[in-house]
């Protein structure tokens, strides 16, 4: 039992979930600025933007994540309820955010920004791939603190009894995702960017992220309970999270293959 409220000042309540989002964004931006300063990592020694431009872009990162994440949840997970109550779409305080939607919103914001600058869009997506794992890890820890998105019943010694999850221990699937999508994927991408120098092949890091995230999410979905109002889509194991991860997996593979075949200056 962990209090989801980090602290309160009078009527102002600050939750761990909000702090995790903010910390993920600003730590990700900080790491991205470090990457941008290492010009030798990028194709032709030209990063997609300057560190100062990335800092200025932070506001659009926040908007892209929030708008995309909320609309993604509305469209993917509960469209009929929100169609009947459209006013609830803006009720972010009631919860309901989709990572897939947030990632799409962030990508759209980056593409529009870099297109206006006539910068390398694929390098921009590579930059997002390098930084997104930080926010993923912190977001999953916040899910664990909130006792949400937990897994099925388990006899493993690390099983957790969650409030609202009954009296039996369950898989802490939030932490599984945090370790795979966050820590492990960060280390994998870091190896490829700093040892294999894949940032010189725009699109490769973004492809690695797509494949790594999709495989991690699909694997953890076998332990994570699906949303109660959706349940399993088929076969007693297929979930919406798996279905939404498949296009990411296919796109990631395509990006890796295409970037390796393309001639770079």
Residue showing tokens 């998105």: 149
C-beta of residue 110 within 8 angstroms of C-beta of residue 131: no
DSSP for residue 258: H
* Euclidean distance between CA atoms 35 and 179, whole angstroms: 22
Contacts of 172 (CB under 8 A, 6+ apart): 144, 150, 151, 158, 159, 160
Q: Which residues are 170's β-sheet partners?
A: 153, 160
Question: Which tokens go with 40?
Answer: 């030798």
Mind giving me the DSSP string for 76-133? Answer: HH-HHHHHH-GGGGG-GGG----HHHHHHHHHHHHHHHHHHHT--HHHHHHHHHHHHH
User: Is 140 assigned to a binding site?
Assistant: yes
> b/e for 211-223, b at 16 or more Cβ within 10 A?
bbbbbbbbebbeb
Contact indicator for 50, 32 with CB cutoff of 8 Å: no
Q: Which residues are annotated as a binding site?
A: 140
């Amino acid at each position: 039992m962990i209090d989801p409220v980090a602290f309160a000042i009078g009527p102002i309540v600050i939750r761990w979930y909000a702090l995790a989002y903010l910390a993920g964004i600003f730590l990700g931006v900080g790491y991205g600025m470090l990457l941008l300063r290492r010009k030798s990592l990028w194709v032709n020694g030209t990063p997609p933007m300057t560190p100062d431009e990335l800092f200025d872009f932070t506001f659009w990162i926040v908007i892209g994540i929030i708008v995309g994440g909320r609309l993604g949840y509305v469209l993917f997970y509960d469209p009929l309820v929100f169609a009947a109550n459209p006013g609830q779409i803006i009720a972010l305080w009631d919860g309901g955010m989709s990572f897939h939607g947030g990632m799409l919103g962030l990508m759209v914001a980056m593409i529009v920004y870099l297109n206006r600058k006539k910068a390398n869009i694929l390098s921009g997506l590579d930059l997002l791939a390098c930084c997104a794992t930080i926010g993923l890890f912190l977001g999953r820890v916040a899910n664990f603190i909130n006792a949400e998105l937990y897994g099925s019943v388990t006899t493993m010694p690390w099983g957790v009894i969650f409030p609202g999850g009954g009296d039996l221990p369950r898989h802490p699937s939030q932490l599984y995702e945090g370790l795979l999508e966050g820590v492990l994927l960060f280390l994998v991408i870091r190896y490829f960017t700093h040892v294999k120098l894949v940032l010189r092949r725009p699109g490769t890091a973004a492809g690695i992220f797509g494949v790594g995230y999709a495989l991690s999410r699909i694997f953890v979905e076998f332990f994570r309970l699906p949303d109660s109002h959706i349940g399993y889509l088929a076969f007693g194991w297929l979930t919406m999270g798996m279905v939404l991860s498949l296009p990411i997996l296919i796109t990631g593979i395509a990006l890796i293959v295409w970037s390796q075949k393309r001639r770079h200056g």
